[in-house]
Amino acid sequence: MSAVVVPFEPRVEPAASDDREVRGEEEARPPCTLVIFGASGDLTRRLLAPAIAHLLRDGAVSPDFAIVGLARSEMSDAEFRAYLEGGAREFTPPTQGRPGELPPTVRYLAGDFGDPGLYDRLKSTLDQIEGKRPGSRNRIFYMATPPEADPTIVKFLGDKGLASPDQGWARVVVEKPFGHDLQSGKDLNDELRSVFKERQIYRIDHYLGKETVQNIFVLRFANGVFEPLWNNRYVDHVQIAVSETVGIGHRAGYYEGAGIVRDMFQNHLLQLLCLTAMEPPVAFEADAVRAEKVKVLQSIRPIPENAIDEWAVRGQYGPGVVGGKKVPGYREEEKVDPASGTPTYAAVKFAIDNWRWAGVPFYVRSGKRLAERVSEIAIEFKRVPHPLFSKAVGTLNPNVLRVRIQPDEGVSLKFDAKIPGTVMQIQSVYMDFPYNKLGAPIQGGYERLLLDVTHGDQTLFTRGDEVEQAWRVVSPILRAWEGHPATDFPNYASGTWGPESADRFLEREGRRWRTL
């Protein structure tokens, strides 16, 4: 029988009182300049501009906050401001209200990132901005650039003394991908650390800024009801899914060399796995949280390359229908090789060899041009040891705790209940809690992460050794697939849930993918 959803109206209780002193104004809202490399790009307009406008609207950053954009495109200061304002208006969801105004100081410098003169002009511009405001000379350097540009930018920031201001701090934000493989990931870490200390480096993964992802910490470690069950005694398996309806758009140049494993697994999906599987940290602080995530990655069993089909499935989308519209296959996308072997879908089984999770498989899948846009974590619990009601109702469904990350953020718990009546009938019901019931708007993630950079909080950012461990985990998959190209691509139609081989992958283990 179909499941029934039981609505849950939360009663929000006030937080416990905090006797700590209120932080001073400069500590709470430190004045700083955000220097964006690649300022004319899509990331700046779609993600950074709305986030900055929201933070200023809410009074979360200093009124002396300033922006300096650098890119090759020619623009005046006024044109750059208009570019950011247009992005803030266009990409602010209606649920978040109107975006705020941009800061009074918005500057733009056009030039080549390999030109030393550009950094001299940047230094002069920063001196002008910082000389007009009180307080420290704080700087955030944001790399909204292709990864191959990062080493050049970092080198010149060091050579010109921009990474170590006389008064205040300097921090660098690096977007994924963090390298192309394990060796390039190590090289990138070495290049960053040649100029910046690890405490100055913020490797950003926007998934960690999502409210639902942060709430995994609270769900697990603030509620006594869940944590005792969060282990191999009670959990049968875990499924983590990020499905997308979009194709690659205009990103063929990047995606052809990356594929789904580099694009999604090495960063977003392994981060979700770590948050789900990690041990309780000694404190909710950067070093403690990131140390526990590294332990999870170190515990993942290496996938044997000669038996890759027992651990992973790959796919590539063909033509199909998404949202009622016909869409092309991957090989028909602009600038894609007509015989491309790049995977756009992957399903992987991970085994975590530690005391808590031994014997519990983690099934992780992600793909483009799938039927729905959904991201979720599902913890499926073991069935009861004795089928007490088997004669009356047959096989009971397992209990499932689902954390919905997008698009409808929330948590639901599925359990069985008796239907009223004289006959023993049992039906699955859901206790469902959507986050929008808390009343506060759910932000996109970059707001929280940018704010954490201004405060020097690295809890939701990736540490250098964490990046290298994640590459170690996915490297066998990459080597096996790149050494043996697929012969059946494309093997799933756009608008479906992926290749049929992915269904058989779970069926042979007596399980099935959950309906997203």
CA distance 450 to 217: 20
123-137, 318-332, 414-428 — most confident range: 318-332
Amino acid at residue number 454 = T
pLDDT in tens, 379-398: 999 988 767 666 666 667 88
pLDDT tens, position by position, 166-183: 788 999 999 988 988 999
Is residue 473 classed exposed, middle or buried when 0-12, 13-18 and 19+ CB atoms within 10 A define those classes?
buried
At residue 302, the pLDDT reads: 97
Contact by Cβ (8 Å): 457, 289: no
Fold of 209-507: Dihydrodipicolinate Reductase; domain 2 (3.30.360)
Establish whether 268 is a catalytic residue: yes
Contact of 428 with 397, CB cutoff 8 Å: yes
The catalytic position among 54, 268, 386, 455 is 268
The 10s digit of each residue's pLDDT in 395-413 is 678 899 999 988 888 899 9
Can the peptide bond before residue 407 be classed as cis, meaning omega within 30 degrees of 0? yes
Mean pLDDT, rounded, of the chain: 88
How many other CB atoms are there within 10 angstroms of residue 459's CB atom?
17
Residue 223, C-beta contacts closer than 8 angstroms, at least 6 positions apart: none
Model pLDDT, residue 19:
34
Please compute the mean of the pLDDT values over residues 461-475 and round it to a whole number: 95
From residue 239, how far is each of 232, 272, 277, 344, 400 by CA, in Å? 14, 11, 12, 19, 10
How many residues does this entry show for the chain? 516
Question: What is the mean pLDDT of the segment spanning 424-447?
Answer: 75
| Per-position DSSP letters for 78-95, written without gaps between them | HHHHHHHHHHHHHTS-GG
Listed in order, strand segments (DSSP E) in 181-303 are 201-204, 235-243
For every residue of 139-198, DSSP letters joined together read EEEEE-S-GGGHHHHHHHHHHTTTTS-SSS-EEEEEESP--SSHHHHHHHHHHHHTTS-G
Q: Percent of the chain beyond pLDDT 70?
A: 91
User: In terms of C-beta density within 10 A (0-12 exposed, 13-18 middle, 19 or more buried), how is residue 298 classed?
Assistant: middle
Fold of 26-175: Rossmann fold (3.40.50)
pTM of the model as a whole:
0.89
Domain boundaries, the chain: 26-175, 209-507
Helix (H) or strand (E) holding 348: strand 345-351
